[in-house]
Structure 1
Amino acid sequence: MGKIIAIANQKGGVGKTTTSVNLAASLGVLEKKVLLIDADPQANATSGLGINVEEVEAGSYQVLEHTIDPKDTIVATTSPNVDLIPAHIDLVAIEIELVDKENREYMLKKAIEGLAKDYDYILIDCAPSLGLLTLNALTAANSVIIPIQCEYFALEGLGKLLNTIKSVQKIHNPELDIEGLLLTMYDSRLRLSNQVVEEVKKHFSEMVFKTIIQRNVRLSEAPSYGESIISYDAGSTGANNYLSLAQELIQKNK
């Protein structure tokens, strides 16, 4: 059975989508079969893998609505071993539409239960909020990766996210684990970056991934070409960082 991992943080711009896309591509290159679910209305993971968002006819919106078999929404990507359930701008409306549904937090879990046997890993790219979409992802997941940027307000909001995870564990998904905290956008020349790394390690020691994602121009360029960093520039620091993260994740889940 494949492991379902949500990549979540209600703060925007911390590297959630960058991590979702490039971790998926790195796991794929390491010969793991991966499904990436884009559960963010901004659909950046979809366009980041070279899929034209305008042309998406069925995706995570229909999956959450239970109006289509999830298997029929899966598209192959140019990344080896990586499939995608794309997102569409319609996803914005899902929170309002699910509000009156019974068991609304379990819609994603129910929909993707049957897919886990076909993949080694299912990654869910969450929206930058703690709304119903993220709640669905956390209820469906076995674990969660939390990207934290090495910037001034890094730890702000982290408490809130950890409380949300606790209440999901208590009410909806007792099996939910924290896979790890991932430090992103690290710049070794900045004292601040180093302070954040120390601070996070001091508070969360064992929970922090050894791999740190460094600031890297190639990493920011790749999405505009609809490519993962692995296919855009396999020799870059960004590619090395994400391959190292993928190896760490595989090792951890042996």
Structure 2
Amino acid sequence: MATVISFGIQKGGSSKTTTSAIAAYLLSAELGKRVLAVDLDSQGNMTELLMGPDVDIYDYQGQTVFEAMKEQNARKYVQKIPGNDRLDILTAEDHLAAFPSWLYDGYKGNRALVLKQTLDSVQDDYDYIIIDTPPALGDQTINALAASNAVVAMFEASKFCYSAIGRFLETCIHIQSTVNDKLEIAGILRSLIDARRYDNKAFIELIEADYEDVCFKTVLTRTAAIGRLGINGFNKGYELNNALNPYREFMEELMQRVKVTV
């Protein structure tokens, strides 16, 4: 069965989408694993990033993760990633924002387990399932955590993200104790907004002091090459290699931690 890993934090702009998309890419393209990416954010940025810069998320209207969850059947809605025969995706677009309304008006089962039950149909098709979550502690994030073996908590070096991290970890612990006792917190992944700023460095040190045993050793620094992934996609070239290098180190840590926890 696939190992399911979510990336989350309720603070926007914390590199959830970039990191989860790169993780899915590295697992498939460089580690040879069969991977399903799940875009659980109605902005559809993971869909755009993995499908390529020329893709419009509305191209997948009626063929997304939302429809898969409504039918409890993921296989019917899996899309192939161009140029990577080991990586598939369940796409998202704006209508996923209606998921909470559908959940409370039209769904009769356990509302936290809709995604898990949907992914059960493809669990044996993949080695890993990577879930990108929205910047909120809402129904999509709850469903992602309930479906996961492990979660990576994203931390950008800022006051607002520092305020959010404790509440996110509390939510993970709540899910562990109520609906998914297999969920493990793989760790907190720290990223510097700007390595030249003293306040950024201070928050990196502060979060390590608070959660020393939980933090990954890898600290990501945002670079122009990473920022241009949304423009260039995962086309081969020196800039892609530059963008991926810091994430390769993180993935080595993640694989070691997930190997122990799941």
Tell me whether the two structures share a fold, i.e. TM-score over 0.5: yes
Separation (CA, whole Å) in 2 of partners of 1:252 and 1:108: 24
Tell me how large the CA RMSD over aligned residues is.
1.8
Verify: 1:77 aligned to 2:81, yes or no. Answer: yes
Deviation at 1:167, TM superposition (A): 1.4
Q: Quick one: which of 236, 239, 244 aligns to 2:249?
A: 244
Equivalent residue, structure 1, for 2:69: 64
Unpaired runs of at least 5, structure 1 = none
Separation (CA, whole Å) in 2 of partners of 1:58 and 1:235: 32
Deviation at 1:79, TM superposition (A): 5.5
Unpaired runs of at least 5, structure 2 = none
Equivalent residue, structure 2, for 1:199: 206
Question: Runs ≥4 in structure 1, deviation > 6 angstroms?
Answer: 229-232
- C-alpha change, 1:25 and 1:215, in structure 2 (3 Å) is same
CA deviations 1:59-102 (Å, max 9, x no partner) are 110122126x3112111113632211101211011111101423
Equivalent residue, structure 2, for 1:19: 19
Equivalent residue, structure 2, for 1:4: 4
Question: % of aligned pairs identical?
Answer: 30
Question: Residue type matched to 1:159 in 2?
Answer: G
Separation (CA, whole Å) in 1 of partners of 2:246 and 2:178: 35
CA deviations 1:19-61 (Å, max 9, x no partner) are 1111111112221221110000000000111243111031110
Separation (CA, whole Å) in 1 of partners of 2:127 and 2:238: 24
Aligned residue for 1:78, secondary structure, equals: coil
Equivalent residue, structure 1, for 2:36: 35
Separation (CA, whole Å) in 1 of partners of 2:68 and 2:184: 24
TM-score in terms of structure 2 length: 0.89
Deviation at 1:192, TM superposition (A): 1.7
CA deviations 1:120-153 (Å, max 9, x no partner) are 2101100111111111111111111111001233
Question: Residue type matched to 2:196 in 1?
Answer: R
Aligned residues: 251
- C-alpha change, 1:163 and 1:253, in structure 2 (3 Å) is closer
Verify: 1:145 aligned to 2:152, yes or no. Answer: yes
- C-alpha change, 1:167 and 1:205, in structure 2 (3 Å) is same
